[in-house]
A and B are shown apart, each in its own frame.
Chain A
Amino acid sequence: MAKRINPLMLQRIVKAQLWSLTGFTIGILFFIIFFISIKGLPQITLEFLTSNPVDMGRSGGIFSTIVCTLYLIFVSLMIAMPLGVGAAIYLTEYTRESRLTHIIRFGTECLAGIPSIIMGLFGFAFFVMALGLGWSILSGGMTMSIMLLPTIIRTTEESIKAVPYELREVSFSLGVTRWQTVTKVVLPSALPGIVTGIVLGIARCIEETAVIIFTVGSSLRLPESFFDSGRTMAVHFYILAREGISMPNAYGTAAILILSILFINLSAYYLARQFLKKIC
């Protein structure tokens, strides 16, 4: 007969193992942040942030890539926000669950599952080539907005559903139309949840590379309009590191990237908590 392990002993072993696994995960996160910061933070000066790259990025700063990233976020959200929030309002407030809504939901789920390299190729074939928009922030923004739609639709839908039905009912009973009820009661109550989805979308725009290389290109010039090509920070980092142009500058860019993603995720977390507090 096999020797039985003392249950208390087993309990202790399991606990220690779970702790170390959790610790390991957190440890990796901190290691990455620490590693990038050690290598990258010394590079970051005001000049690094405010001057354009020189000599392919061997020297100079990253100003044009920051501008390009901001433009890309702006264009992507200007397209994805109205479409996504609108679709979510339609799905939750204007239709009942039906075959059509199931198909729409299934469609957005599938959209969420498409690998970004494929989306990049699609954006290249459709926006860049077929529509003749060329490598441009507009092409990239439109492609990115398609990728952001599923998240924005889902988070908006969830937060709209969390608004109690009674509030709509009382609004209707005051002679208020459905649309006014949506804009005056439902959306304000759902706002923190909607913002969470949008913040996640911003993070996505910052960190994406494959799609951007295909659709925005990698020009280092300061983009002057949405029809210009450009290079976002993430792409800049990728090219600097991959082609061995300048590791210090690559790490400097990486540090900025990590800091902004960290900041954005923290604010999404904070907003989501505010939201939970409000509805509970």
Chain B
Amino acid sequence: MSKVIVENLNLFYGDFHCLKNNTLSIKERKITALIGPSGCGKSTLLRCLNRMNDLIEGVRITGRALIDGKDIYSRDINLIQLRKEVGMVFQKPNPFPLSVYDNVAYGPRVHGLYKTSKDAMEAVVAKSLSAVGLWEELKDRLDVSALNLALEQQQRLCIARLLAVEPSILLMDEPCSALDPFATLNIEELFLNLKEKYTIVIVTHNMQQAARVSDYTGFFLLGELIEFGNTKTLFVNPQNKLTEDYITGRFG
């Protein structure tokens, strides 16, 4: 099942044609990796899927992006609903300067969920922290500032904060680039667990990571999707000469 379908998507930053006619489809409850050299538009494509590019002045988009069959650029889309549905994890762990508990409860609170029941809110926080493997270490320290956590814990917390608003798609923009190799492996394991419930799109410039965690991979170059397919096939038997050059490390 395709969860996300991108059709002939073009994006312009002012006069700069950044994404060129991208077409791809992202399968539900799979991990799709987007790879390619820096500046080729991976983050930009990711940010199209929760319309974060709307915040940038002078952005123009043509083509379609469908989530569950609905065009997210059509006029009747509810942006708040869309962003709750499609969550994003950023490159640098960015917890709020609040307690662990308040970080996770932030989303539900502003969306007015579980207003009447403290227990329900606590349950959501516990569930979200468990889902990212933080509950055991932090259950007695929910009131410490999130800024005091280690980087890996901070990134996990950011994912928990996201899960608390119950998205179905997780967009990850180089989520491990600020982490050491050991923490990176731990987080990758987390992705494999999360994929049972969520559709994950991960941008990475680490090809080994794409090969390790993803089911599908897309290779981008200068805003063009050069090749998209099953991860194994793409890495073992790339169809395009450019893909082969990139994964064998001849450029990038």
Interface SS of chain A: helix
Asked whether, in the complex, the Cβ of A184 is within 8 Å of the Cβ of B83, the reply is no
Within 8 A of A (CB), among B105-151: 106-107, 109-111
Q: Which residues of B lie under 8 Å from residue A166 when comparing CB positions?
A: 90, 92, 94
Query: Which chain B positions have C-beta within 8 A of A173?
Result: 50, 52, 83, 87-88, 90
Chain B proximity of A92: nearest CB distance (Å): 15
B96, B109, B165: which has the most chain A beta carbons within 10 Å?
A: B96
Q: Is the CB of A174 within 8 A of B52?
A: no
Task: Mark contacts of A141-183 with chain B using CB atoms, 8 A cut-off: 1 yes-contact digit, 0 otherwise.
Answer: 0000000000000000000000010110111111111001000
Say yes or no: B161 contacts A172, CB within 8 Å. no
- Total contacts A to B, CB within 8 angstroms? 57
Verify B97–A174 contact, CB threshold 8 A. Answer: no
Tell whether B192 is near chain A: CB-to-CB under 8 Å.
no
Query: Chain B interface mostly helix, strand, loop or mixed?
Result: helix
A96 within 8 A of B: yes
A175 to B52, CA, bound (A): 10
List of B residues within 8 angstroms of A167 by Cβ: 94, 96-97
Number of B residues, CB within 8 Å of A: 26
**Which of A96, A175, A185, A278 contacts B111, CB < 8 Å?**
A175
**Residues of B contacting A185 with CB < 8 Å?**
96
Residues of A within 8 A of B96 (CB): 167, 170, 185
B107 touching A174 by the CB < 8 A rule? yes
CB nearest neighbor in B for A170: B94
A167 to B94, CA, bound (A): 7
Q: State which of B52, B92, B97, B109 has its C-beta within 8 Å of the C-beta of A172.
A: B52
- Do the beta carbons of A278 and B83 come within 8 Å of each other? no
B158 at the interface (CB under 8 A from A): yes
- Given contacts A170-B158, A175-B80, A175-B84, A184 and B94 within 8 Å (CB-CB): no
Most B CB contacts (10 A, CB to CB) among A171, A173, A176 go to A173
B52 near A177 with CB under 8 A, answer no
Q: When A and B form their complex, which 3 residue pairs have the shortest distance between CB atoms, in order from nearest?
A: A175-B83, A175-B84, A173-B88
